[in-house]
Structure 1
Amino acid sequence: MPAILIHGVPDTHRVWAGVRRHLTRTDVEAWDLPGFGAPRPLGFGSTKEEYADWLIGRLEQVGEPVDLVGHDWGCILTARAACLRPDLVRTWAGGNGPISARYPWHPLARIWQDPVEGDRFMAELTPEGFAADLISGFEVPGGPAREMARHVDAPMRDSVLKLYRSAVRMGAEWEPDLAKLTAPALVIWGSRDPACPVEFADELGRAIGAEHVIKLVDCNHWPLLQQPERVAAALEEHWRRHSPSPGGDHDRPAGS
């Protein structure tokens, strides 16, 4: 029963590196979404539906239910997959990704959703400027901020715009299906997140019947970068509560 970690925007699998260093289990994989450090399949339009379908297809290939974890858009997409295909998910954990008709998209998202302003933003984006914004606006540590910004290439910029433009009404469209998420669930949220207010952690927890909602009071939008050891500890406790046996499958080597 492997654990699969899914990043958000504008990240790649690298965003999970700190958390993975604090995990004791070995069967953990962090996947790149198409366009985010991985090629986009031919004809892939980078819409929210296509990302959810892609994730479900990858999970089907694993061949057994997984411990599924997501952050930001990774939270949204993994929750969607767990709603549509509960048979593929043993446990679910996610955070800092609202799925609510009451959630107003944050200011940067609204820029990306605008065809003119979004294109202009991406055309003028520089790694140095973006890293500085992440540090000042979201308290991302300097090293991870510069690493994140360095990987925002042309395919990622295009994917971000197409994803957000497909998701103007995502909350209203996907919220009703949250009741279908039957896997034991954990919500982990940075309480000082200016883009995704912490009130939506409680709302998501209620909608999916989460066993626990953990609010990290000293964290912003990226708890996995600011407090990776605490995120790892919460995940391992969540998995341990639902492990078929002590140690058990969690100690087997991970696949590729």
Structure 2
Amino acid sequence: MTLVLVHGNPETAAIWNDLIPLLDDDDVQTLSPPGFGSPLPDNFDATSDAYVKWLASELSNFDSPVDLLGHDWGGGHVVRLACERPDLIRSWASDILGVFTPEYVWHDRAQIWQTPDAGEEAVAAMVSADPADTAARYQSLGMSADIANQVADGVNSDMARAILSLYRSAAQPIVGDFFPTLANASARPGLAIIATDDPFVGGELLGRKAATQASAEVGILAGEGHWWMCSNPEAGASLINSFLKKLNNDN
């Protein structure tokens, strides 16, 4: 069975480098959303809806349904696809489920990106920053030096444009209004990964609420932050391997 990994913002597929060797699957593939480690086409509007369509198109290239795992906004795309196109997947996993609740409040940086002018200024500063400083910030948040440098190298004007469009397409109450539709994700087995020290995705309470709505299993990564796949890839891999092993045994 193919396991497909989808990352989020502001990052590239390099975030998975330490996790992949620890996964039991022998066919692990990564997909880079447009603007986030891959070019942003001129005709791509980089909204949440557009990314779901992009992901569906990518998954349709596989010969059979896949196991799908997403982090950050990659996890957002995964959740929405699980609700809308369960035919393309065998299972899904996401670490951002709590975002899809009415109570969720976007973190400070997201609210800046969602604000006209202030958002443009913020992403311009991000693009113009010294890559070494950007890498140091990523490293302080849990990435290894090697991964942090690779992710910093992916920060560019395409990413900046994609950030503004994506976050503005999902400002509250838009993202919270998806909560009722999470029930559709129960069509396939799901795993809600909750890193308890992640300050960006709503915390354990909202994560569990959304997981219940989606009939998803809950996996707790106690004491881990936003980039758990970098700071503790062993714990992350154990959680994912256990979830997929149960699916394999059931089949």
Give me the TM-score of the superposition, normalised by structure 2.
0.90
Matching residue of 2:117? 116
In structure 2, give the amino acid aligned to 1:194.
Answer: P
Q: What SS class does the counterpart of residue 60 from structure 2 fall into?
A: helix
Matching residue of 1:250? none
Select which of 171, 177, 181 maps to 1:177.
181
In structure 2, give the amino acid aligned to 1:69.
Answer: L
Q: Cα 1:154–1:207, aligned 2, differ >3 Å: closer, same or farther?
A: same
Give the distance between the partners of 1:108 and 1:2, measured in 2 at CA.
34
Q: How many residues align?
A: 244
Q: What SS class does the counterpart of residue 4 from structure 2 fall into?
A: strand
CA shift, 1:103, in A, is 0.6
Q: Cα 1:128–1:111, aligned 2, differ >3 Å: closer, same or farther?
A: farther
Q: Cα 1:16–1:139, aligned 2, differ >3 Å: closer, same or farther?
A: closer
In structure 2, give the amino acid aligned to 1:175.
Answer: F
Q: Which moved more, 1:169-178 or 1:45-54?
A: 169-178
Select which of 219, 230, 238 maps to 1:225.
230
Q: How does 1:89-168 map to 2 (within 5 A)?
A: 89-97=89-97, 98-125=99-126, 126=129, 127-136=131-140, 138-168=141-171
CA shift, 1:195, in A, is 1.6
Q: Cα 1:229–1:103, aligned 2, differ >3 Å: closer, same or farther?
A: same
Q: What SS class does the counterpart of residue 75 from structure 1 fall into?
A: helix
Q: Is the 8 A contact 1:192 1:198 kept in 2?
A: no
CA shift, 1:245, in A, is 7.8
Matching residue of 2:83? 83
Q: What SS class does the counterpart of residue 4 from structure 1 fall into?
A: strand
After superposition, the C-alpha distances for 1:186-212 in whole angstroms (9 at most, x for unaligned) are 11121011222232221221111112x
Give the distance between the partners of 2:43 and 2:15, measured in 1 at CA.
27
> Percent of counterpart pairs with the same letter?
34
Q: Cα 1:29–1:139, aligned 2, differ >3 Å: closer, same or farther?
A: closer
Matching residue of 1:203? 209
Q: RMSD between aligned alpha carbons?
A: 1.8
Q: Is the 8 A contact 1:96 1:221 kept in 2?
A: no
Give the distance between the partners of 1:172 and 1:189, measured in 2 at CA.
18
Q: Is the 8 A contact 1:96 1:190 kept in 2?
A: no
Q: Is the 8 A contact 2:2 2:25 kept in 1?
A: no
CA shift, 1:160, in A, is 1.0
**Structure 1 residue runs without a partner (length 5+):** 247-256
Q: Cα 1:111–1:132, aligned 2, differ >3 Å: closer, same or farther?
A: farther
4+ residue runs over 4 A deviation: none
Q: Which moved more, 1:35-44 or 1:113-122?
A: 35-44
CA shift, 1:131, in A, is 3.2
Q: What SS class does the counterpart of residue 236 from structure 2 fall into?
A: helix
Q: What SS class does the counterpart of residue 225 from structure 2 fall into?
A: coil
